[in-house]
């Protein structure tokens, strides 16, 4: 079984190798030699490189050490490209020790954390690699900056940054060990009792898998048993969301990610049959055009998705025989901390409801996704679009159960969103403000693009009854201004997430997406279902 999975994933990734290499400036005479941002070094449509893309070096590392292609394995040219990537990384560091991702003078936590993480992994695998002495100095400065600027809202970024600092210390960097220990304590204590780490207000399977990559690397280097315990709880949480056909309900995620990276799961699958089952379920069909891996864009080909896949490949054969996933049996669970309800009928049918996202609802059957409902959008508002499909702890959520019937009630005021369209003026202002204030504008940008504190005044309530053989959704919208247009929401969330909004096949299955609805009376939707 492992051999079949290996061959499928290997064949899939081999097709992507030229694409990854195309992102890299391979001309040793070029001043941007070693850069993985093709928009910067080749197309020249950006005047600075996004340094988070230097993680592409980890793909080169696997190609150099493993025999995926005879032309690349052990090829000194490939080794020189990796060395160029290290030197380019060090040369683009800001004076404060951080790096840029989206705009100059950003001093971003993600580009600093993820790029240092990649550099440490690369040097750990290739200790005799030739590189400029400035690389070691850059590692030291990045460690100091990461410890001085913790990431409080995105757990995956925080654990990657902490793991990078720890790995750098093993490679000779001097770090504040007491401060690092406190940060690890804070991170491990942030894991919910349900097994997830918070990602901007809730659980997100994609970012949870990124955290699992770093947790395994940290455990492998440190022996800290807390990392294994965290992996076990995270794996148990993730396993409940996998359908019988190996797909996931994308929009129950707090940040709308539509992928799961495999490295941490594969490594943990050498000691956990459940983790092995998750890997087999998610990646056995990765050669299919329906698999999420094929929606990976050029940016994330060099970001953590492909590097995680390539790193996982060499450990597939170590997976234990997989255990049964929850979707193979009958179960129903209410997770109050995350506001998620999950039920599996034992007949290859699974139901998912995300109450803290306005009652986003999925129903999967033996042939895949049967039903999806993403709530409503209210347009024609002068100041934006009102939505129910939004991660919001401010919604009132009630759950009750009586004689096998489950009722979920969600109500609240619809958040207000507006479209953010790029323009030359906005970019000039961004450059000016970032030059004057640096990283201090990051909270403002997050508020505008991610959190969205504005409310619309439009109230909604969604009542969901899960009976023995029927799912009934009843919606009421109140306080509607005159002339307001109410439509069923498409799959797309208006929350900005860089790695989200790729094409997913479930976009085609949203319940009457875009349809205008009458709001004078309650809107009722009935779907066949069988309670476990």
- Tens-digit pLDDT profile for residues 227-283: 999 999 999 999 999 998 888 999 999 999 999 999 999 999 999 999 999 999 999
**Two tokens at 335?**
């997770």
Separation CA 97–CA 119 (nearest Å): 14
> Residue 135 above 70 pLDDT?
yes
- Between the alpha carbon of residue 373 and those of residues 47, 357, 415, 522, the distances in Å are 42, 11, 18, 16
**Two tokens at 356?**
């803290």
Residue predicted with more confidence, 144 or 436:
144
Are residues 244 and 364 in contact, defined by beta-carbon separation less than 8 angstroms?
yes
Using CA of residue 114, residue 118, residue 124, residue 128, what is the dihedral sign?
negative
Separation CA 198–CA 191 (nearest Å): 7
Query: Which residue is associated with the tokens 């347009």?
Result: 379
Q: Is 64 helix (H, G, I), strand (E, B) or coil?
A: helix
In this structure, of 77-81, 158-162, 438-442, the range with the lowest mean pLDDT score is 438-442
Separation CA 281–CA 506 (nearest Å): 18
Separation CA 273–CA 320 (nearest Å): 6
Query: Which residue is associated with the tokens 């087999």?
Result: 280
Mean pLDDT of 410-416: 93
Question: In order of start, what are the domains of the chain with their CATH numbers?
Answer: 2-318 (1.50.10.10), 329-528 (no CATH)
pLDDT of res. 447: 73
**Two tokens at 189?**
């204590």
pLDDT band at 367 (very low <50, low <70, confident <90, very high): confident
Separation CA 293–CA 504 (nearest Å): 10
Are residues 3 and 10 in contact, defined by beta-carbon separation less than 8 angstroms?
no
pLDDT of res. 514: 66
> Residue 496 above 80 pLDDT?
no
pTM for the predicted model, two decimal places: 0.95
pLDDT band at 161 (very low <50, low <70, confident <90, very high): very high
Are residues 341 and 465 in contact, defined by beta-carbon separation less than 8 angstroms?
no
pLDDT band at 131 (very low <50, low <70, confident <90, very high): confident
> Residue 530 above 80 pLDDT?
no
Under DSSP, the state recorded for 197 is: P
Q: How far apart are the first and last CA of the chain?
A: 30
pLDDT of res. 520: 52
pLDDT band at 422 (very low <50, low <70, confident <90, very high): confident
**Two tokens at 424?**
């030359």
- Tens-digit pLDDT profile for residues 378-401: 886 677 888 999 899 889 999 999
CB burial of residue 440 (10 Å; 0-12, 13-18, 19+)? exposed
- Tens-digit pLDDT profile for residues 108-121: 999 999 999 999 99
| Backbone φ and ψ of 276, nearest 5° | -60, -40
| Backbone φ and ψ of 32, nearest 5° | -110, 20
- Tens-digit pLDDT profile for residues 286-317: 999 999 999 999 999 999 999 999 999 999 99
- Tens-digit pLDDT profile for residues 438-480: 787 877 777 777 776 788 888 999 999 998 888 999 999 887 7
Angle between helices 177-189 and 155-170 (to 10 degrees): 150
- Tens-digit pLDDT profile for residues 2-11: 999 999 999 9
């Amino acid at each position: 079984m492992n051999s079949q999975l290996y061959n499928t994933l290997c064949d899939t990734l081999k097709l992507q190798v030229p694409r990854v290499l195309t992102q890299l400036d391979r001309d040793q005479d070029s001043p941007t030699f070693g850069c993985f941002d093709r928009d910067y070094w080749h197309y020249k449509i950006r005047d600075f490189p996004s340094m988070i893309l230097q993680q592409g070096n980890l793909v080169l590392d696997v190609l150099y050490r493993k025999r995926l292609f005879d032309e690349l394995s052990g090829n000194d040219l490939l080794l020189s490209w990796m060395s160029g990537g290290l030197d380019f990384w060090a040369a683009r560091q800001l004076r404060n020790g951080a790096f840029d991702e989206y705009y100059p003078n950003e001093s971003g936590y993600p580009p600093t954390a993820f790029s240092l993480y990649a550099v440490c992994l690369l040097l750990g695998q290739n200790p005799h690699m030739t590189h400029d002495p400035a690389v070691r100095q850059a590692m030291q400065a990045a460690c100091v900056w990461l410890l001085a600027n913790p990431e409080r809202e995105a757990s995956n970024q925080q654990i990657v940054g902490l793991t990078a600092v720890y790995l750098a210390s093993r490679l000779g960097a001097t770090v504040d060990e007491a401060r690092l220990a406190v940060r690890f304590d804070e991170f491990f204590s942030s894991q919910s009792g349900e097994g997830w780490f918070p990602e901007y207000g809730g659980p997100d399977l994609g970012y949870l898998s990124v955290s699992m990559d770093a947790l395994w690397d940290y455990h492998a280097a440190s022996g800290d048993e807390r990392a294994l315990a965290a992996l076990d709880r995270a794996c148990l949480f993730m396993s409940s969301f996998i359908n019988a056909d190996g797909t996931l309900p994308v929009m129950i995620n707090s940040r709308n990610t539509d992928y799961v990276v495999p490295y941490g799961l594969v490594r943990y699958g050498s000691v956990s049959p459940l983790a092995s089952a998750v890997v087999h379920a998610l990646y056995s069909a990765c050669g299919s055009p329906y698999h999420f891996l094929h929606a990976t864009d050029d940016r994330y080909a060099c970001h953590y998705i492909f590097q995680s896949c390539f790193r996982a490949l060499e450990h597939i054969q170590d997976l234990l025989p997989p255990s049964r996933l929850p979707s193979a049996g009958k179960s129903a669970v209410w997770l109050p901390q995350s506001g998620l309800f999950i039920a599996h009928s034992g007949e290859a049918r699974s139901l998912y409801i995300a109450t803290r996202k306005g009652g986003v609802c999925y129903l999967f059957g033996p042939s895949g996704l049967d039903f999806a409902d993403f709530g409503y959008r209210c347009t024609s508002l002068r100041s934006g679009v009102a939505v129910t499909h939004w991660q919001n702890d401010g919604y009132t959520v009630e759950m009750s159960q009586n004689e096998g019937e489950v009722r979920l009630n969600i109500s609240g005021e619809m958040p207000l969103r507006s479209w953010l369209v790029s323009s030359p003026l906005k970019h000039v202002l961004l450059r000016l403000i970032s030059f004057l204030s640096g990283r201090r504008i990051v909270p403002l940008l997050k508020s505008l693009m991610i959190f969205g504190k504005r409310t619309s005044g439009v109230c909604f309530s969604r009542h969901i009854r899960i009976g023995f053989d029927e799912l009934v959704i009843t919606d009421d919208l109140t306080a509607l201004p005159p002339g307001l247009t109410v439509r069923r929401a498409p799959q797309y969330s208006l929350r900005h997430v860089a790695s989200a909004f790729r094409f997913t096949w479930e976009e085609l299955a949203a319940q009457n997406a875009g349809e205008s609805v009458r709001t004078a009376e309650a809107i009722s939707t009935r779907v066949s279902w069988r309670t476990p």
